Amino acid sequence: MWIRLNRIRQIILLVEDGLMALLLTAMILLAAGQILLRNLFDTGIIWADPTLRMLVLWITLMGAVAASREHRHIRIDLFSRYLSKKHNAYAQSVIDLFTASVCGMIAWHAGRFVYFEWQDGTQLFGTIPAWLGEVVMPLGFGVMTLRFLFSIPMRFLQRGDD
């Protein structure tokens, strides 16, 4: 069972990394193309600037999700130097629970925001609805919430403690 779960985890990580690489490549190509068009031909792509803003939002949240999967996010690490390994695991679990609750609240309110954007029919550009570009906010924070919640029991299972 652990082998299957590990394989599923590897596939999820591969998809996340691939999506980030695709988004970053699209952002670089679109920005470079827009710069070239403006400087060389005094023209540009009308939808490039709003698309780049959405790509920045997406790549930022995807990066935050990737950082949270390896616990490489920004954190204040005050207790780990002074606590024993056992007590550090408990303290880290409390911190992860707090972080999960904050991410969960942000995901909830971001979801409400996206829902209101959907209800209002706000347009991003052209006929593309704004909520399609903003849906990454509740999804990203939702994934981070689950990651922090799942890291609590995993910390003790990896140590062999129950």
pLDDT digits (tens, 9 = 90+) for 8-57: 888 988 999 999 999 999 999 999 999 999 999 999 999 999 999 999 99
* 31 class by beta-carbon count within 10 Å (0-12 exposed, 13-18 middle, 19+ buried): middle
Give me the amino acid identity at 87. H
Answer whether 103's CB lies under 8 Å from 144's CB: yes
Closest C-alpha to 143, from 55, 12, 23, 19: 12
- Rounded Cα distance, 65 and 71, in Å: 10
Is the sign of the CA dihedral 39, 40, 43, 45 positive or negative?
negative
Taking only the tens place, the pLDDT of each residue in 58-106 is: 999 999 999 988 777 766 677 677 777 777 778 888 889 999 999 999 9
- Rounded Cα distance, 7 and 13, in Å: 10
What is this structure's pTM? 0.83
- For β-strands 128-129 and 123-125, DSSP reports them as antiparallel
- Rounded Cα distance, 40 and 35, in Å: 8
Q: What pLDDT does residue 126 have? A: 79
CA–chain centroid gap for 82, Å, is: 31
